[in-house]
Structure formats: C-alpha cells, structure tokens
Amino acid sequence: MFDLGWSELLLIAVIALVVVGPRDLPRMMRTAGQYMAKARKVAREFQATFDELARETEVEELRREVASLKSEATAPLSEMRKDLDKAMQPPSSAADKQAGSAAIPETQLDGLPEEMADQIRETQELEQSGDGEDGADEKPASKAPKGDV
C-alpha cells in the first residue's frame, strides 16, 4: 500500500519512540493499528460495492446481449412460421374470393331469358366447385339439343 520496506519501518519506529516516549508507545501503536483496521475495512467495503456495481452492470449488459441474440434467432423462425401459416391455409378461400367477385348478382339475371340465366348460374356453380374446364364442356353440350334459344 505505502510500499515501505523493513528499513523504513525501523526508522519510523525509532522516531516514534523518541517523540512519544517508551511509556505511551504501546498505546499509540494500538490506536494506530485500530485506525488502520478501520481504514482497511472501509476500503474493502468500497471495493466490494464497486465490484458489485461492476458485476450488475456486466450482468445487465449480458442480459441485453442475450435478449438481442434471442430476438435475432427467433426473427427468422417467426417469418418461417408466417410463411408456413400462409401455405397451410386452404386454397378454397382464395378461390371463393375470386368466384365471389366474378359472380353475377341475381338482380342482373332477372332481365335475361330463363334458359340463359340458368346457364349462367350453372357456369358460376361449376367455377365455384372447382370443376372449371372439365364440367364446362359437358354441361353446355347436354343443353344444346333443347336449343329454344
């Protein structure tokens, strides 16, 4: 602490013996020792408090780093989960939206001849059921012989 060697300590002891005297020297050394012990205790407490604050700061930094690493690691997983959820949705919901937007309302079919309105309804039903091209060729061909058009 003060970097004193044996020779310096011996010189201090001789000066203290001359200044204080042989009778009061033991009491003065005891008091000096007590003050040194108190000073060391305060220094240890300060060092412990400082070390604890440093550890808390390090722990807080580590927590932040772990949280950022966790968010970096889970971000791609959440994106993949969203993509998988989109892929797992039934395709009929997209077809229903398209069919619903392409459907002709019944109010517009009222002014048409009945056979033509029936054909339009059948075509819409086929589009909604997903038979599309295969069913479209068969149904109008079966209606052709009736032909009062």
The reply to whether 120 falls in a domain is yes
Statement to judge: residues 84 and 21 lie in one domain: yes
Statement to judge: residues 31 and 77 lie in one domain: yes
pTM, rounded to two decimals: 0.37
In a 3-state reduction of DSSP, which class is residue 105?
coil
For 103-134, the pLDDT digits (tens) are 666 666 666 777 777 887 788 788 777 644 44
Radius of gyration of the chain (CA): 48
For 58-112, the pLDDT digits (tens) are 988 999 999 999 888 888 888 888 887 877 776 665 555 555 555 666 666 666 7
Provide the number of structural domains found in the chain: 2
| Average pLDDT, integer, range 37-53 | 94
Statement to judge: residues 82 and 16 lie in one domain: yes
| Average pLDDT, integer, range 27-37 | 92
Q: What is each CA distance from 90 to 65, 79, 94, 101, in whole angstroms?
A: 40, 19, 8, 18
Look-up of token digits 């339009």:
120
The reply to whether 19 falls in a domain is yes
What is the pLDDT, as a whole number, of residue 103? 61
Sign of CA dihedral 57, 58, 61, 67: negative
Statement to judge: residues 45 and 83 lie in one domain: yes
Q: Are 142 and 126 contacting, i.e. CB atoms less than 8 angstroms apart?
A: no
Which residues constitute the domain of residue 48?
A: 10-88
Statement to judge: residues 83 and 106 lie in one domain: no
What is the pLDDT, as a whole number, of residue 33? 92
